[in-house]
Amino acid sequence: MRTQYTGSHTVTVTPFTPGGAEIDFEAWEGFLDWQVECGVPGVIILGTTGEFLTISDAERTAFVRHTVNYVNGRMVVWVGTMNAYTPNAVRYSKEAEDLGADGLMIIPPYYVTPTDDEIFGYYRAICEAQNLQIMLYNNPFTSNVDMSAKLVGRLARSFEQIRYIKEASQRIERIHDIIVESEGHMHPWAGQRVLESYKMGAEGYVNPYGNYIPRASVKFVEWAEQGRWDDVQRVQDVISQFDTIIVEGHPLYGHQCYSKALAAAAGHPVGDVRAPLTTYESLGDEGRARVAKMVPLMEELDRIVDEIEARPAAAAAE
């Protein structure tokens, strides 16, 4: 019987030493301890936020091994093992299993715009090579592929390892469609808008905000599981303000350098991003001004969580 995972799992940054020269394992250990202390049930490493495309194979092996060993069962560890070349995705996936990871998050082959049958063959090859649970990652904005509910259902019915999906198409109704098409086998996770996604049937959240507001983002997912929609909305309204500040005049994935800058502001410096991404350092006054706007939001979320958590249990459930 496989463990069923739920809750807010942080899709993490990858910490680098100055100039992006190496992975900063000392900073990483402090970051992981912080996640555990805040009640984060799992981390997802080497996803988009983790700059997986900039990581060498040797770095990947060392990073996965170090993460699994250091976490030592305190959280679930998912590993992003996607690649545009199927044998590489298979190799990364088998290696993650061998190194002790708990699960895999895998986007379809990017750039080449594969057909449904080609996508099916890609996941089939990965499933045949290893036995970890797989979270599909549907993000048409980066992969140039939008996996339909019909395709996701076909995958879930065909392979018992495939039981999760990060649904980030921004079509919230897709969550319900996936549950129907998979005949209940699939457990969709929110890729955005937690409140709306949970109302449609989401059972987890792939959470980029956990890099700098882990406590608040863990709590509002717990409240979503309990149907405490007003409490969820209070946190989500503040979180949406981070997005507004970051995306003004900045690329789609500008959040990566700000995630690192905000982690530093929270007391956990993790370096800057690697090329070709825009570094936080290069933003100068613009970047510092934006972070200065967001730090008070982090403090506001702490106050909101403290206030809600201080309420009597009966009042919180109303």
- Give the burial string for 150-189 (b: 16+ CB within 10 Å, else e): ebbbbbbeebebbbbbbbbbeebebbebbbebbeebbbbb
Residues with catalytic roles: 137, 166
242 contacts 212 by C-beta, under 8 angstroms:
no
Residue found under tokens 């069923």: 4
Please give the C-alpha separations between residue 108 and each of 24, 80, 115, 136, 280, in angstroms, as whole numbers.
29, 11, 10, 8, 29
Residue 78 to residue 161: CA distance in whole angstroms: 14
Cα torsion through 309, 190, 243, 170, rounded to 10: -150
Residue found under tokens 């019909």: 150
Structure tokens at 247: 């995306």
Q: Which residues contact 52 (CB under 8 A, 6 or more apart)?
A: 14, 46, 80, 82
DSSP codes of every residue in 236-297: HHHHHHHHHHHHTTS-TTTHHHHHHHHHHHTT-----PPTTSPPHHHHHHHHHHHHHHHHHH
Q: Is residue 100 helix, strand or coil?
A: coil
